[in-house]
Structure 1
Amino acid sequence: MDQFGEDLVAALRDVVEAANWQCVGPTTRFSSPCTKLFSEDGDHVVLIHQDGLYRAMDASCPHEGGPLELGDIEDLGDGKLVLVCPWHHFDFCVETGVSSTGLQNNVYDVRVVRGDVFVNAPNALSLAPFPVTSATCTGGVSSDVHSESSAEDSLCFWAAKILSTPDPMEKVDLTFKVQERWDSAPGAMEVGRTAPPQQPSRKEDLTVLQPGKIKRGKGGTQASRVALLHSLANIEQWAIDLSWDVIARFSAFRLQNGEPLPRQFFTDFVKVAGDEAKHYQLLEKRITELGSYFGALPVHNGLWQSATDTADDLLARLAIVHMVHEARGLDVHPQTLSRFAAQSDRASVEVLEVIYRDEITHVAAGLTWFTYICAQEGRDCLSTFHGLVKKHFKGYLKPPFNTEGRKTAGMTEEWYIPLVKPSSQQEKQPGKPSVLTNCSDATAL
């Protein structure tokens, strides 16, 4: 009997040693439904957490390599859960890895022991990407924050992916998921480097016209309000792309002293992208509530021209997109809001108020990083800004200005008044001040 016990213990020890159980962290680290576990050889794993149950499978979709850690968990009933790939919506049973499409994903046993999560997987797993070593990357170790290790999971990889996504709601969904990952585990995702597309993808059924030929309406009828909201939704879709483009296009930017941009730069513009995605989602929902849909009316791509014109100059991009165009959005907000308020369209007013509050922070972000780069490079901020606007923006800035909103963003009058046509600085029509000193009256219902 004693011999039998010793043999059994030895056999069990052999089984345990033959397995590849490894602790990947305490359960408190896995509050999200899906968490990517990095593998040194690139065969990453997604840990799935739902209602206290833990499962694991390969993180790369066997269809076309989609990121399953960004997928959604769906309950099909009778306790059957599937993980749905965000790219082409292939589903995989979290228990077996079997897809209704016939594909099969690899699954791994998971156990929770005394508050720690263990996964039985053949390769070492980690919550953070493995560092690049001489064995995995020619040219030696790089400590650069923009290292291209784990390039398939870098921020710039996802920026390019979102820019190449034509469906606006898929673009919104991916933006939210990437933002959540970037914010929830600071430092886990690298910035990386991936060349963005020359122009973002759009659905083929959109009717695209020149900007001057778009009829926006004045808000006096429901159809006119739909046209205004539709125009704003188009702008917000481009704004999502502009945010991801500045991340990917300028990831390799270096200051004159050779230093890269701080990680906070990318964090700030991930937030801007998330805000713009939220704005599009709110506008699209409101358009639907009013009986229409995005794409029902023609759109334009004029805003992207600014991205093309400033593709090689980060200071110019910040100046034109954030400190001119987005600041102009603050200027027109009171009038736009008053049109919806005049029709007692409270639901639309609430959407516009959310957008306005966020856009102030976007102007502030552009101003913050513009002044940061100027300070680091010994440039005079005001003269640099004025020179770039005169070079890249056609014509003069036109009043009226929302001085209160601009000031809240940190943009005082010395930034923009010198860019107004000289005669406009002197002229004031009765009842039409050259600046909006307070927008509260215009926004009141």
Structure 2
Amino acid sequence: MDSACPHEGGPLEQGDIEDLGDGKLALLCPWHLFDFCLDDGSSSTGLQNQVYDVQVYEGKVYIKTQNALSLIPMKDTEVAHCGKLSPQISGPSTSDGSLTHWAAQILGTPDPSEKVRLTEQVKTWWESGAITDIGEAEPPSQPNRKADLTVRDPGKIKRGKGGTLASRVALLHSLANIEQWAIDLSWDIIARFAKVNLSNGEPLPRGFFNDFVKVAGDEAKHYGLLEKRLTELGSFFGALPVHNGLWQSASDTSHDLLARLAVVHMVHEARGLDVHPQTLARFAAQGDEDSVKILEVLYNDEITHVAAGLRWFTYICLVEEKDCVPTFHELVRLHFKGYLKPPFNTEGRKTAGMGEEWYLPLVKPVR
């Protein structure tokens, strides 16, 4: 299991193991007592931790990650004898195998399906150790998009309320567009801020890159699920107009890592948690259970993404001796247009570690 708690990065290796009953055991984070089932990494709080299948064969340890075997390459004869195991995915073929090199490559990839494929591949390389160098690469000023997309202002995109098949398709199409941008936002924060040195002279910890590679992989998974569902409903991504509103926030915060974390990963990502209950209810009311299942996957993953943004915002503030919550308020007021709008998903935000003190002061005051 990953040793960093997905809530706020607590040291799980220092936690206690307790019996959940029914023969199941849970690891408790020593910081906030979040529980993680040792079987699948699930938590009663709604968070999800990574759990890896470990197998021993002929004195060698094989760790099966989500996408491929890692650590030790296997011979064909070993694969034949091992049954459950599959060959290791080969490493990067280019001479520049740094993480930021591939981040810039993905940002420059216009086709969303290829963007997803590359993201999953690079995530596998990073997690398996095929890529170890963070490197340094200049990201594009804006990610590439397919030329046949119709781009409009966010306010001119019509989504409907899910009461008809056409409006449900429009909602799923809008979510797929958001997920494509979310893939790019994850790679951009890696490439753009890789060489940031904190006020103590130290670079960003490797855990920062681990987290945002995982986020990129989650967003790629989300896009793939949504694209597949659009196809099942007789549509496809690109059939409807899209907007690039999320990238405006990325451009506005391209000079300041704390501002990027605050606005993109703690305001916009958290807003996704807020709209989830209503969106889910619209699809459930129409009996669209397949879409409901996808939305639940998105929601559970997005909680961990908000937690990651909060974790690194808090970490940097502590290193730079800044008061976290007032600094967050200052940056949001500076870089986010308007006020935060209720209703808020208080429970979802709380699960991600974001209490009301973070966002209620940013709501328009009642007069």
| TM tier relative to shorter chain | 0.7 to 0.9
Structure 2 counterpart of 1:170, one-letter code: E
1:308-347 to 2 correspondences below 5 Å:
308-347=251-290
Helix, strand or coil for the counterpart of 1:350? helix
1:231 aligned partner, one-letter code: S
CA distance, structure 1, for counterparts of residue 142 and residue 100 of structure 2: 15
Q: Is the 8 A contact 1:233 1:284 kept in 2?
A: yes
User: Structure 2, unaligned stretches of length 5 or more?
Assistant: 1-58, 81-88
Which residue in the other structure is 1:306 paired with? 249
C-alpha deviations, 1:394-429, integer Å up to 9, x for none?
1111111000000000000000000001118xxxxx
1:185 matched residue in structure 2? 129
1:171 aligns with 2:122: no
For residues 81-120 of structure 1, what are the structure 2 equivalents within 5 Å?
none
What code does the residue aligned with 1:244 have? W
Q: How much has 1:151 moved relative to structure 2?
A: 7.1
Specify the alignment match of 1:263 in structure 2. 206
Contact 1:226–1:290 (CA<8 Å) still a contact in 2? yes
Secondary structure in structure 2 of the residue aligned to 1:195: coil
Shift in Å, 1:53: 7.9
CA distance in 2 between counterparts of 1:205 and 1:51 reads 47
Hey, what's the Cα distance between the residues in 2 that align with 1:273 and 1:225?
25
Give aligned pairs, total: 299
Which residue identity lines up with residue 266 of structure 2 in the other structure? M
Q: Secondary structure of 2:340's partner?
A: coil
Residue number among 296, 304, 313 corresponding to 1:353 in the alignment: 296
**C-alpha displacement at 1:189, in angstroms?**
1.4
Q: Distance in 2 between the 1:323 and 1:51 partners?
A: 49
C-alpha deviation, 1:327, in angstroms? 0.4
Indicate if the aligned counterparts of 1:283 and 1:351 stay in contact, CA closer than 8 A: yes
Matches within 5 A, 1:2-401: 50=76, 52=78, 69=91, 152-185=96-129, 188-401=131-344
Letter in 2 for 1:347: D
Measure, in 1, the Cα distance between the counterparts of 2:258 and 2:68.
Answer: 39
Cα distance change on mapping 1:338 and 1:70 into 2, 3 Å = farther
Structure-1 separation of matches of 2:139 and 2:172: 29
Q: Which has the higher contact order (CA 8 A, sep 6+)?
A: 2
Runs of 4+ in 1 over 6 A off after TM superposition: 26-37
Structure 1 match to 2:32:
none
Letter in 1 for 2:252: D
- Alignment root-mean-square deviation, CA: 2.5
Is contact 2:70–2:128 with CA below 8 Å preserved after alignment?
Answer: no
Query: TM-score when scaled to structure 2?
Result: 0.77
1:218–1:339: 8 Å Cα contact kept in structure 2? yes
Alpha-carbon distance between aligned partners in 2 of 1:50 and 1:69, rounded to the nearest angstrom: 17
Tell me which amino acid in the other structure corresponds to 1:383: P
**TM-score (norm: length of structure 1):** 0.63
Mapped partners of 1:282, 1:169: distance in 2 = 11
Deviations 1:109-145 (A, max 9, x none): xxxxxxxxxxxxxxxxxxxxxxxxxxxxxxxxxxxxx
- Max radius of gyration: which structure? 1
CA contact (8 A) 1:35 1:48 kept: no
Name the CA shift for 1:27/1:170 in 2 (closer, same or farther; >3 Å): farther
Q: In the superposition, relative to structure 1, how do residues 392 and 287 fare at CA in structure 2: closer, same or farther (>3 Å)?
A: same
Deviation digits for residues 361-412 of structure 1 (CA, Å, limit 9, x no counterpart):
0000000000000000000001100000000001111111000000000000
| Cα distance in 2 between the residues matched to 1:53 and 1:401 | 50
% same residue: 69
Q: Distance in 2 between matches of 1:391 and 1:225?
A: 35
Residue deviations 1:261-308 (CA, integer Å, cap 9, x gap): 000000000000000000000000000000000000011111100110
Per the alignment, do residues 317 and 173 of structure 1 end up closer, same or farther by CA in structure 2, a change over 3 Å counting?
Answer: same
| CA distance, structure 2, for counterparts of residue 49 and residue 217 of structure 1 | 54
Q: How far apart are the structure 2 equivalents of 1:423 and 1:30? A: 55
Preserved contact between residue 244 and residue 269 of structure 1 (Cα < 8 Å): yes
> Residue 33 of structure 1 contacts residue 49 of structure 1 at CA under 8 Å; is this kept in 2?
no
Letter in 2 for 1:406: R
Is contact 2:173-2:240 (8 Å) kept? yes
Asked whether the equivalents of residues 207 and 295 of structure 1 are also in contact (C-alpha less than 8 Å), the reply is yes
Q: Is 1:252–1:260's contact at 8 Å kept on the other side of the alignment?
A: yes
Judge conservation of contact 1:33–1:50 (CA < 8 Å) in 2.
no
Q: Give the CA deviation at 1:69.
A: 3.5
Give, in whole Å, the separation in 1 of the partners of 2:205 and 2:243.
34
1 CA distance for matches of 2:76 and 2:143? Answer: 35
2:96 match: secondary structure: helix
- CA gap 1:33/1:278 in 2 versus in 1, 3 angstroms: closer
Matched position secondary structure for 1:256 = coil
Aligned counterpart, 2:7 = none
Q: 1:218-264: CA deviations, max 9, x gaps?
A: 10001110000000000000000000000000000010121100000
Aligned equivalents of 2:276, 2:69: Cα separation in 1: 39
